[in-house]
Amino acid sequence: MRKAVKFIAWFVTLALAGLYFLSAPDPLPAAKIPAYSVDIKNGETMYHAGGCASCHAAPGSAEGATDKTKKCDDPRSKNKMVLSGGRCLKTKFGKFIVPNISPHKTAGIGSWTKLEFVNAMLRGISPGGQHYYPVFPYTSYHQMAIEDVLDLKSYMDTLPPSNTTNKSHDLEFPYSVRRFIGLWKWLKFEAAKPGSRKDIGESLAERGRYLVRGPGHCGQCHTPRDALGGLLSKLTLSGAPNASGKGWVPNITSHKSGLKAWSENQIADLLATGLTPEFDSIGGDMVAVQENMKEIGASNRAAIAHYLKSLKPIEGIKRPPGKKK
Amino acid sequence: MKIFQFIVLIALGLGFSPVATDAQADPIADRKALMKKTVLPNTKLTGGMANGAIEFDASKAEAAARAIAGIPAKFVKLFPEDSAGDPDSSAKDEIWSDMKGFLKAADKLTASANAAADAAKAGPDAFKAAFIKMSESCKSCHQLYRLKKEE
């Protein structure tokens, strides 16, 4: 009997040690940062492609007061150049409050080194060595070329600083324990080898694939997730329930419930104007995405359209039935 | 027997009462119809002219934009409290929790559609610019108040 207790104690200790080890952050070393002279203009394109402002700009309207502007989940942004944070993202895991990533030295990320910024974007690790929640879409950004990440930082350093103080997330246990994200990463996230721009390729399809899967992080909304919030890769971009509220995010593969009937030009036009081929307007969170995509240039929009049309049709999971009339 | 007749009369009375037969028998169907039957075809026409797919015709463009401008005032009246939360509707709860903002968004469409109608007289380029402004007002309202549930 005592032997059994001892055995169990040893087993539990070893298991905990193993889990502790598995949940440890795994940052990139400084040697991975190449000598490279940054291109701020490309950084600006990455800023819009990455949709940084959609989450990190303060919620509310540039136009001012309605009741709605007082809400932390207003889908609009007060000023897309001031990344003061404060937006809340209500998910089934709890309420996340988006942090200040303006270049303010203390309230924002102005004092970060290149390496710290790269580790945040590609590994989801903070300068203090803590895991970020994957609500910050590093599970897409990790596919970005390291030069693009450095360009992005150089552009963000030129934006206005904000002294807004960060607020804590409001999460349920066990999601409130950051160390557990390490286990989540072990199960659900395999960080890409840090890629260089020359690895990506220059064809329209390769450029589109890169923009969609890397900076554009389209799958964060258009791909469904499993119970632990991991993206279901077999159903990539085939539509999903809205993770931060009611409604459904559409299928954007070439399936008939998706973009089968759309031409590449029509997709690129939607990204430029927010209008469907029928001249219906887009709505919801896609509006903020489209306003960013408007800024990335026609060739990048064409690349995205081309890549999406090249995707195999995937039926996707069934939507809950609406009321029949 | 008398009581039975009385009940029947009451039931008939309720059935024919103005509350049940008034204009808003089905506000959800009515507001959908306004969007699908008036706004959408006229946006298609004006949008087609704006991007050159349809030949620009100043009087047709003006009439179509004017037709759109006439919708918001009718549309916003079709959101009674008891039509909130319908699973078949794309209307977000924010319409009711932020009616002031919703009405403001509707006014924006009226103004921008009227501006597009006026711009039609000034030629296709002016009309195109005004159409883009009008479509921005569609989008900003849909961003806050519409949740699409169907294709």
- Interface touch B86/A323, C-beta < 8 Å: yes
Q: Does B37 touch chain A (CB under 8 A)?
A: no
Cα–Cα–Cα angle for B49, B52, B56, nearest 5°? 45
Alpha helical stretches, state H, chain A: 2-22, 40-49, 52-56, 114-123, 138-141, 146-156, 179-188, 204-213, 219-222, 264-273, 286-293, 298-310
- Interface touch B143/A287, C-beta < 8 Å: yes
Q: What is the pLDDT of residue B135?
A: 96
Q: What is the pLDDT of residue A182?
A: 95
- Interface touch A325/B88, C-beta < 8 Å: yes
Low-confidence ranges of chain A (pLDDT < 70): 1, 64-70, 321-325
Q: What is the pLDDT of residue B85?
A: 86
Contact B89, A322 (CB under 8 A): no
Q: What is the pLDDT of residue A325?
A: 38
Contact A85, A101 (CB under 8 A): yes
Q: How far apart (Å, rounded) are the C-alpha atoms in residues A201 and A210?
A: 9
Question: In chain A, which residues have their Cβ closer than 8 Å to the Cβ of B43?
Answer: 279-280
- Interface touch B98/A68, C-beta < 8 Å: yes
Q: What is the pLDDT of residues B94-148, one digit of tens each?
A: 999 999 999 999 999 999 999 999 999 999 999 999 999 999 999 999 999 998 7
Q: Does B43 touch chain A (CB under 8 A)?
A: yes
- For B:79-118, CB contacts with A below 8 A are 86-88, 92, 94, 97-98, 100-101, 104
Chain A residue with the nearest C-alpha to that of B137: A281
Bridge-based pairing state of the strands A88-91 and A240-241: unpaired
Give the closest-approach CA distance of B7 to chain A in angstroms: 31
Q: How far apart (Å, rounded) are the C-alpha atoms in residues A18 and A21?
A: 5
R_g of chain A computed on alpha carbons: 21
| CA B122 to centroid of chain Cα atoms | 27
Give the closest-approach CA distance of A282 to chain B in angstroms: 6
Residue B30 or B3, more confident? B30
Mutate to test the interface with A, among B92, B148, B150 (most CBs of A within 10 A): B148
Residue A191 has, within 13 A of its CA and on its CB side, a CA count of 22
Q: What is the pLDDT of residue A71?
A: 84
Consecutive H or E run containing A240: strand A240-241
Consecutive H or E run containing A248: strand A248-249
- Interface touch B139/A283, C-beta < 8 Å: yes
**What is the value of pTM for the model shown?**
0.89
Q: What is the pLDDT of residue A62?
A: 76
Q: What is the pLDDT of residue A258?
A: 94
Sign, CA torsion B58/B63/B66/B67: negative
Given pLDDT bands bounded at 50, 70 and 90, which one contains residue B17? very low
Q: What is the pLDDT of residue B88?
A: 80
Q: What is the pLDDT of residues B67-77, one digit of tens each?
A: 999 999 999 99
SS3 A51: coil
Residue A286 has, within 13 A of its CA and on its CB side, a CA count of 23
Chain A residue with the nearest C-alpha to that of B42: A279
Mutate to test the interface with B, among A255, A271, A278, A279 (most CBs of B within 10 A): A279
Give the closest-approach CA distance of A242 to chain B in angstroms: 10
Q: Assess: ipTM above 0.90.
A: no
Mutate to test the interface with A, among B42, B89, B96, B139 (most CBs of A within 10 A): B139
- Interface touch A247/B48, C-beta < 8 Å: no
Q: How far apart (Å, rounded) are the C-alpha atoms in residues B49 and B53?
A: 6
Contact A85, A71 (CB under 8 A): no
Contact A58, A170 (CB under 8 A): no
Q: Does B53 touch chain A (CB under 8 A)?
A: no
For residue A111, give the amino acid letter.
S
DSSP string covering A248-266, please? EEPP-SSSTTTTTT--HHH
β partners of residue A88: A97
Contact B79, B28 (CB under 8 A): no
Question: In chain B, which residues have their Cβ closer than 8 Å to the Cβ of A276?
Answer: none
Q: Does A277 touch chain B (CB under 8 A)?
A: no
Q: What is the pLDDT of residue B134?
A: 97
- Interface touch A66/B140, C-beta < 8 Å: no
For residue B43, give the amino acid letter.
T
Instruction: For residue A156, give the nearest of A50, A262, A279 by alpha carbon.
Output: A50
Residue A3 or B8, more confident? A3
Is the pLDDT at B7 greater than 90, yes or no? no
Q: What is the pLDDT of residue B151?
A: 45
Q: How far apart (Å, rounded) are the C-alpha atoms in residues A2 and A200?
A: 60
Q: What is the pLDDT of residue A120?
A: 98
Q: What is the pLDDT of residue B18?
A: 44
Query: How is residue B37 annotated by DSSP?
Result: I
- Interface touch A280/B88, C-beta < 8 Å: no
**CB under 8 Å to B97, separation ≥6 — which residues?**
A67
**CB under 8 Å to A64, separation ≥6 — which residues?**
none
